[in-house]
Structure 1
Amino acid sequence: MRASMGIQELDEILNGGLPIPSALLILGDVGSGKSVLCQQFVYAQAKDGFNCTYFCIDHSPYDIRTNMESLGWNPKDFEDKGLIKFVDLFVGREESDEKYQGNPRDYNELVSAIKRYFIQNQRFVVDSISSIAFLHGETKAYDLIQRIHGWVLKTKGVGIVNAVKGMHSQSFEVAIQQALGNAIILEREVESVYLHVAKTTRTPHQKGKFGLEIDEKGIRILI
């Protein structure tokens, strides 16, 4: 069984998509398209009828919705049907009007909120673990990654954890790649972005670097 990433070429690189259950780490440079990949995945999975939870940490739910709409993906219908939940854990907010929310500045409350909404879903996105590491330290962020891995196995779900490459210690970046079953690296080289699969679990994958472009319809992988 596989879960589609919502990008045909990326599914081909991953031999049909992400294994179920499993989690994918996207470790990428600033501006390399990490969040767009996450949004495209959630939209595709909601279209297929799966319950999806998007944990909004780096950006507000408003920003995520607006960006999705700019790419032609209107999440509102799926929200109304209960297929997409945006959980407001935005570290920059003081108050929230969102139906689903938690306190990102209290680590125990943060973990409790993520767990509460996590076990209700089939697909998830954590965008991103980097802000959690910055607020609470890499040790606690790694602890949360391990908890997420356990929840994935319990719920038989699939999802993505997003992290900013170069924002952390090298040991932390290696540790989170090791902790999750699948890892994709996004790197900027001048004006171009390249993707390569660092590891997968229970499935082969295509090796090499592939170009990545973002247009008005989302991400395209150049094979």
Structure 2
Amino acid sequence: MRASMGIKELDEILNGGLPIPSALLILGEIGTGKSVLCQQFIYTQAKEGFKCTYFCIDNSPFDVRLNMESLGWDPKEYEEKGLIKFVDLFVGREESSDEEYQGNARDYDELVATLRKFFTQNERFVVDSISSIAFLHGEAKAYDLLQRIHGWILKTRSVGIVNAVKGMHSPSFEIAIQQAVGNTIILERVGEDVYLWVAKTTRTSHKSGKFGLEIDEEGIKILL
């Protein structure tokens, strides 16, 4: 069994998609398409009938929905069907949210409890991103949370993506979070171009090398 990333060329690179269960880390520089990759994955999986949860930490659910709609992916239909849940953990929010699903990312224990609750109820997940958690609570707690997430994914036989901003953390933390999960994709910018490469996979082979990445009005394209 494989889970499609929603990008034909990336599924080819991953030899058919992500194995189930899987935890994937997307580590990339600012503006390289990490969140778009996550949103494309969630939208594709909801279309296939899987219950999906998007933990909105760096941006509000309102902004995530707007970005998805700008790329032609309207999540509202799948929200109404119960196939997509946006959990408002936006670190910039100071007051309670109008969102049906929410929590407080600034309270570490509440954050863990909120994530755990949804991991037991759904099948596909995005945590966007672990970098804000590292800044709020320190790298040790962010690493602990990532290990918990990996454990929940294995226990529930689900698929989850966690993204992190490359260059915002200590080198040892960036190595540790890659070690903590089974699969890692790196996004890097060279001049005006963005490249994707698979650093590691578990229980699947993958194509090696760096591949060009473009974002257009329909989402991400990989140049094989």
TM-score, with normalisation over the residues of structure 1? 0.99
Matched, 1:126 2:91: no
CA distance in 1, matches of 2:131, 2:137: 10
CA distance in 2, matches of 1:159, 1:144: 13
Q: 2:211: which partner in 1?
A: 210
Query: What are the superposed Cα offsets for residues 103-128 of structure 1, whole Å, 9 maximum, x if unpaired?
Result: 11110011001111121110000000
CA distance in 2, matches of 1:119, 1:90: 21
Structure-to-structure mapping, 1:138-217, within 5 angstroms: 138-217=139-218
Matched, 1:50 2:45: no
Query: What are the superposed Cα offsets for residues 8-34 of structure 1, whole Å, 9 maximum, x if unpaired?
Result: 000000000000001100000000000
Percent identity, aligned pairs only?
Answer: 79
CA distance in 2, matches of 1:173, 1:17: 24
Find the residue that maps to 2:186 and give its secondary structure.
Answer: strand
Find the residue that maps to 1:104 and give its secondary structure.
Answer: coil
The structure 1 segments of at least 4 consecutive aligned residues displaced by more than 6 Å after TM superposition are none
CA distance in 1, matches of 2:191, 2:136: 30
Q: 2:94: which partner in 1?
A: 94
Structure 2 residue runs without a partner (length 5+): none
- Cα RMSD over matched residues? 0.4
Q: 1:33: which partner in 2?
A: 33
Find the residue that maps to 2:26 and give its secondary structure.
Answer: strand
Matched, 1:17 2:17: yes
Aligned-pair CA distance for 1:94 = 1.3
Structure 1 residue runs without a partner (length 5+): none
Query: What are the superposed Cα offsets for residues 137-194 of structure 1, whole Å, 9 maximum, x if unpaired?
Result: 0000000000001100111000200000000000000001011000000001111000
The one-letter code sitting in structure 1 at the alignment partner of 2:81 is K
Aligned-pair CA distance for 1:58 = 0.2
Q: 1:117: which partner in 2?
A: 118
CA distance in 2, matches of 1:108, 1:167: 24
CA distance in 2, matches of 1:80, 1:135: 33
TM-score, with normalisation over the residues of structure 2? 0.99
